[in-house]
Structure 1
């Protein structure tokens, strides 16, 4: 599972450094916003699974990652929870 997370983090590092309005944003926030497809400020299991599968990882990896990172067990990843992953693999 960690190998899939590392692969995802490495691939996401290559995304552009500006948002849709052309404003430069921090890389960690940029990756979080790319994964937060509906823009609600958190990454759902559906959003995480979709991205992981697009990167070639099985959906089970996304579920395991969610269990490991969702420290408050609310079923989604906040930016703080997601940044913990990024600190470990980037």
Structure 2
């Protein structure tokens, strides 16, 4: 995916966040304002359900500007697929919702 002239890989950004003890999954969405660009929706798993502002600040401390979220959604737990892994399709539905 492309954003602001950079090629990004959500899995690598998720790993950077994990090093800062932030459990996140990223859903890329087309940026309607900039053709060919991508918006990043970060889903953060937090059983305390702290607000999105808290997590945005934490993420912005550990990620360069071009990898930072456009939007942060906080979930008590990620929806899981049949294999017990985070359900990316369900997260995409929520992101587009």
TM-score bucket (shorter structure): 0.3 to 0.5
- The structure with more helix, counted as a fraction of residues: 1
Structure with the greater alpha carbon radius of gyration: 2
* Greater RCO (CA < 8 Å, at least 6 residues apart): 1
What is the TM-score normalised by the length of structure 2? 0.34
